[in-house]
Structure 1
């Protein structure tokens, strides 16, 4: 399972209303790159046949099967305070992370 904090859910819904079409949901994914080997990504996209549709805090979102394996158990947070990082993934499966918070191994 992947969970969203209340602040992440609120920001996702605001961004969806502003940037997405009615058919699109937020996609959370992992791809090769970043300074630690893999990096997190998010974009609005339509559901693909093998996607999982998950829901938390009343927000539905998409995850492909490969990304789900890396992200299972993660918590997605959003921080917009003075030193806020934006979206941050707290991933218990990461053996190491980069200081940027967007890259892991």
Structure 2
């Protein structure tokens, strides 16, 4: 499992985790939805699940469930500051089609479950 965090993303995640005062891992996942068929999700968790893939990236534990792994191998997560607020972005080399907001995608081998666009 190859996931990259930019310096800005790693720094922002470390700030968020430090503010919570707990030893947390970053979960990155893919679920059906969005206008292209799949959408990303991120959450902080205390413990990985038994079947999770756990890796260390930039001093952070990153966990991915086996079903999401095929969609996430090779991604790069960045943190972007913007005038209306910042946020995490994901660059996915496996995506062949991406929504304008960047939250929904599809791959050449999987179309997912497209829904009307909400962005």
What's the TM-score, normalizing by structure 2?
Answer: 0.79
CA-atom RMSD in angstroms: 1.6
CA distance in 1, matches of 2:86, 2:95: 18
What aligned pairs does 1:15-94 form with structure 2 within 5 A after superposition? 15-19=16-20, 21-22=22-23, 24-45=24-45, 46-82=47-83, 86-94=87-95
| Other structure's SS at 1:96 match | strand
What's the TM-score, normalizing by structure 1?
Answer: 0.89
- Computing the radius of gyration from Cα coordinates, the structure with the larger value is 2
Query: Structure 2, unaligned stretches of length 5 or more?
Result: 107-119
Q: Which runs of 4+ in 1 moved over 4 A?
A: none
Query: Structure 1, unaligned stretches of length 5 or more?
Result: none
User: Does the 8 Å CA contact 1:31/1:38 hold for their aligned counterparts?
Assistant: yes
Aligned residues: 104
Q: More displaced, 63-72 or 74-83?
A: 74-83
CA distance in 2, matches of 1:9, 1:39: 21
